[in-house]
Chains A and B, each alone.
Chain A
């Protein structure tokens, strides 16, 4: 069984070097696949992209060494009762996960636990560290109450937790709070609704409005309909009244091949 890991670096060579360091395999022996060549951007300022490689490891013994995710919380005895899952992904780019301060993670988990304890009993918090965000997952307890109508409560929890964490942190930390897979479910629902609405817009040739969504929901719809060539999406209005509109695109010259290309 071969395992694959991802590494990042300024360029492919650097990523390889890092991989060989981490896995203690000589660089020339590493089987890898380049996922993205980095680019240093303009003057190394704008558009800097890291190179990404995927490394395949066949030897199971090397895996042993990898299983040393820094368990950030364990050392403060205060939060012993919270289970902390550090996902494999997070432990890979060790440079990435060290971006988060241990105390910060601990207080984040404690803060979230305090909030949900006020709402329901018997819910527990897990933390997954991703390279660009922290994902808190809540399991157990009354998940319905935690989610609220249209995910209102969940959104409020996430918003407040984000504020609390970023108050303590010097650099911006992005977080996500999920209750028993609700976010995925919501995403699926939204995508289904989006394609239904897009169909409707195409059929009636009139714009369709979807109101009552938060920024995150709108984003899901925008991204989902981004590749749909025959409609375009736009958010209109301000604040609470912001709505998402789906406009049918006028076919540009009906005899264009463009039209039946995406049928």
Chain B
């Protein structure tokens, strides 16, 4: 899960080295925190949050198979 977001984020940004992803696991819900360079924030969020929404959609599809919820947080 974490790798998936990391992979996508690194493909989208200008500074892939500054992408870091943390996963905080809970019983039912895990939270994935995505940190990118300040310049790249817009790229992972997208126009009207479209990119962020697409990533969240992927996450929910991916976490459906392990019967969990995953929340994506983009950290400034």
Q: Which residues of A contact B (CB under 8 A)?
A: 111, 114-115, 118-120, 142, 145-146, 148, 152-153, 155-157, 159-160, 163-164, 167, 239-240
- Asked whether any CB of chain A lies closer than 8 Å to the CB of B55, the reply is yes
Q: A153-B61, A156-B54, A239-B48 are in contact. List 20 more A-B contacts (CB 8 A).
A: A111-B7, A111-B11, A114-B4, A114-B7, A115-B4, A115-B58, A118-B1, A119-B65, A142-B65, A146-B61, A152-B57, A155-B54, A156-B53, A157-B54, A159-B51, A160-B8, A160-B51, A160-B55, A163-B12, A240-B48
Is there an interface contact between B65 and A145, defined as CB atoms closer than 8 Å?
yes
> Within residues 1 to 23 of chain B, which ones have a CB less than 8 A from any CB in chain A?
1, 3-4, 7-8, 11-12
Which B residues lie within 8 Å of A160 (CB)? Answer: 8, 12, 51, 54-55, 58
- Asked whether any CB of chain A lies closer than 8 Å to the CB of B74, the reply is no
Which B residues lie within 8 Å of A111 (CB)? Answer: 7, 11
A-B contact pairs, 18 of them (CB 8 A): A111-B7, A114-B4, A114-B7, A115-B7, A115-B8, A115-B58, A118-B3, A118-B4, A119-B61, A119-B62, A146-B61, A152-B57, A153-B58, A155-B57, A156-B53, A157-B58, A159-B50, A164-B11
CB distance from A152 to the nearest CB of B (A): 5
Which A residues lie within 8 Å of B64 (CB)? Answer: 145
> Within residues 37 to 58 of chain B, which ones have a CB less than 8 A from any CB in chain A?
48, 50-51, 53-55, 57-58
Is there an interface contact between B65 and A120, defined as CB atoms closer than 8 Å?
yes
Is there an interface contact between B8 and A167, defined as CB atoms closer than 8 Å?
no
Q: Which 4 A-B pairs have the closest CB atoms?
A: A118-B4, A156-B54, A156-B57, A164-B11
Q: Which residue of A lies closest to B11 (CB)?
A: A164
Q: Which residue of A lies closest to B54 (CB)?
A: A156
CB distance from B16 to the nearest CB of A (A): 11
CA distance A20 to B55 in the complex (A): 49
CB distance from B11 to the nearest CB of A (A): 4
Q: Which residue of A lies closest to B10 (CB)?
A: A164
